[in-house]
Structure 1
Amino acid sequence: MEKLQIRADGDTTLAMRLYRPADSAAPRAGIVIGGAMGVRQGFYETFAKWLAAQGFLVATFDYRGTGDSLPDGQSMRDVRADLFDWAHDYEAVIGATHAQLNGAPLYLFGHSLGAQLPGLLRDPKRVSGLISIAAGSGYWRDNAPQLRRSILYFWYVLVPIATRLFGYFPGRKLRKVGDLPSGVMLQWRKWCLDPLYSVGAEGEPVRASYGAVRFPVLALSITDDELMTLRGTQTLVGLYANAPREVQRIAPADVQARRIGHFGFFREQFSGSLWPRAVESLGQLAGMVAQRTA
């Protein structure tokens, strides 16, 4: 594993990790893992190492203002970033990874937010496909029932007050999501209060951006996801209106597990079941394109 510093938007430094295949052969493909909101890239390390052992060149990263991409000595309250900036960060990592592939395809594994932001890429042509994992629109009515009971208090009371008081969202103190720059949190709030999520909240430019995506989108929807429902996943996938797209459901019983949930897919206990399925899903992306063009 290599720890790298790359640039996004000219003057922003991002922390990126690159996991190379163990042998000297050219990688089968490149994979960029786009993380969930408030989740540091280290969470995906075991999964990334496993993918590298299967012959892939794998990249993880922290969005600007978070994790290792928050410069030493800088307070999060001084970070000026929103979700469009984070999409630019994603794109910078895609570019850095693509440059090392010598023509091999590049895929995205997007966890939650990591499957939402690819619709905002300015140059989606470098991407050959997206595997969406435990992702949905985020609209509050599409949240799982147990979350929906408290989510309006979260969006209308806790988020505005805490963000104003601290100058950022202090999620670690509150045990909610994680620490997030104020611009990110307040924009995410706007998205989650709109039935069409980012497209509804931001209007035609974002609708056109999602519409420009042509790479296939395969969504793996977890039946016991405590945050994302099937309806939320279908809403998100529907935003990629011109892309080949498909939703597949995964239940814990399918892999002889008691629970998967929103985060479980990336835990090592699934290295013999869900992780091989993710690799197999890459092969399905080409078939989705062929079916669309047939």
Structure 2
Amino acid sequence: MQKQILTSGSSQLSLRVYDTPTPARASVVIGGAMGVRQDYYAPFAEWLSGQGFRVTTFDYRGSGDSLPDTADGGLRGFQADLMDWASDYEAVVDSAKAALPQAPLYLLGHSLGAQLPGFLKNQSKVDGLLSVAAGSGYWRDNAPQLKRMVLYFWYVLVPVATRLFGYFPGRKLKKVGDVPAGVMMQWRKWCLDPQYSVGAEGDSARRSYGGVTFPVLALSITDDELMTWRGTQNLINLYVNAPRVFERISPKDLAVKRIGHFGFFREQFAQTLWPRTAQSLERMGLPALMPDAVASMTV
């Protein structure tokens, strides 16, 4: 079911809700990666709803189905930054919680979707975060193949293209996707800071991340072409007061050649990785999920 909600600043946000065929045991809000439309998560969301979870996906303002209502649907001059995207996340959490107020609510964050929960103002409505292929975007934490070109990206391509077009034209450049100027330039600031978001945004951000007490389970992909194991640890450890568990997923565990940064949500893993998602969400409420544990994922 597709629906629209209004967020702070009266921006219209597009959501899709995947209801369960039986009474739902929990709600799951999927927070997407930078430049990735909610369409990408549709097969996974539909599968997860079949396992008894009410799933909500959404597009951040200025992206996907939440593009501004202009004659050409363009982003030139569109005002939005990452704090606005965090507000979008909050609005979706509010909507999902209102629909099932008595059920647990979990976040499933892919990349950026596991970074923004540190800024949520309604953290008390969240019962856990499952982080998939997420890490600090600080450039020294990037995977080696990305690190070779990332300084050119941040110091030349991003500022020049964003200034020229009035937004970051990622589709034309085949990098990231079309992103509002404010989002891209703030993300640039984060990625050039050794402490990523909390370093760039200061004490208020550190306090906000520190306010998270729900459990965080981080799945790190060994052949991720963007994120490293160190980057995953550096991001998740920003949630300093949350119970944290880290798991590593290797393609060889699944007898496949590749998973990568985006592969987790592809249908080829419907019989392997996806069932582990339901199990991981169920584990969120268990007292055995203790801080700073490190595990290897086996299938």
TM over 0.5: yes
SS in 2 for 1:78: coil
Shift of 1:287: 2.8
Q: Please report the TM-score for the alignment, with normalisation by the length of structure 2.
A: 0.95
Partner residue of 1:41 out of 7, 29, 38 = 38
Q: Would the alpha carbon gap of residues 11 and 224 (structure 1) be closer, same or farther in structure 2, given more than 3 Å must change?
A: same
> Which residue does 2:275 correspond to in 1?
276
Aligned to 2:151: 152
Contact 1:137/1:233, CA 8 A, preserved across alignment? yes
- Look up the SS of the partner of 1:92 in the other structure: helix
- 1:1-294 maps to which residues of 2 (within 5 A)? 2-9=1-8, 11-22=10-21, 25-73=22-70, 74-287=73-286, 291=290
Query: Aligned with 1:249: secondary structure?
Result: strand
- In structure 1, what is the Cα distance between the partners aligned to 2:138 and 2:289? 32
Say if 1:38 and 1:179, in contact at 8 Å, map to a contact too: yes
CA pair 291-156 structure 1, distance change in 2 beyond 3 A: closer
Tell me the distance in 2 between the aligned counterparts of 1:97 and 1:286. 18
Gaps of at least 5 residues in structure 2 are 292-299
Shift of 1:160: 0.4
- The two structures, once aligned, show a CA RMSD in angstroms of 1.1
**Shift of the alpha carbon at 1:290?**
6.1
Cα deviation 1:253-287 (Å, max 9, x = unaligned): 11121100000000000001100111111122223
Structure 2 CA distance for partners of 1:10 and 1:165, relative to 1, 3 Å? closer
Secondary structure at 1:239 match in 2? coil
The one-letter code sitting in structure 1 at the alignment partner of 2:162 is: T
Amino acid at match of 2:209: Y
What letter matches 2:46 in structure 1? Answer: K
- SS of residue matched to 1:76: coil
Name the amino acid aligned to 1:50. W
Structure 2: distance between partners of 1:200 and 1:223: 26
CA contact (8 A) 2:15 2:57 kept: yes
Aligned residue pair count: 289
**Residue identity in the other structure for 1:29:** A
Identity over aligned residues, as a percent?
Answer: 65
Q: How has the CA–CA distance of structure 1 residues 291 and 145 changed in structure 2, closer, same or farther, with 3 Å as cutoff?
A: closer
* Counterpart-to-counterpart distance in 2, 1:233 and 1:12: 31
CA displacement, residues 31-53 of structure 1 (integer Å, 9 cap, x when unaligned) = 00000000000000000000011
Return the offset for 1:211: 0.3
Supply the distance in 1 between the matched residues of 2:280 and 2:205 (Cα, whole angstroms). 27
Q: 1:60 to 1:164 in 2, by over 3 A?
A: same
* CA distance, structure 2, for counterparts of residue 83 and residue 122 of structure 1: 14
Residue 289 of structure 1: how far off its partner (Å): 6.4
Contact preservation (8 Å) 1:245, 1:288? no
- CA separation in 2, counterparts of 1:197 and 1:142? 10
* Residues 278 and 87 (structure 1), Cα distance of their counterparts in 2 relative to 1, 3 Å cut: same
C-alpha displacement of 1:78: 2.6
Gapped regions of structure 1 (runs ≥ 5)? none
More helix by share: 1
Cα pair distance change 1:289/1:197, threshold 3 Å: farther
Mark the CA change 1:210 to 1:165 in structure 2 (over 3 Å): closer, same or farther. same
Judge which range, 25-34 or 65-74, deviates more: 65-74
Q: TM-score when scaled to structure 1?
A: 0.96
Q: Deviations over 1:182-218 (max 9, x none)?
A: 0000000000000110000010000000000011000
> Shift of residue 291 of structure 1?
4.0
Question: What SS is found at the alignment partner of 2:60?
Answer: coil
How far residue 72 of structure 1 moved from its aligned partner, in angstroms, is 3.6
2:224–2:261 contact (8 Å) kept in structure 1? yes
- Does structure 1 conserve the Cα–Cα contact (< 8 Å) formed by 2:68 and 2:75? no
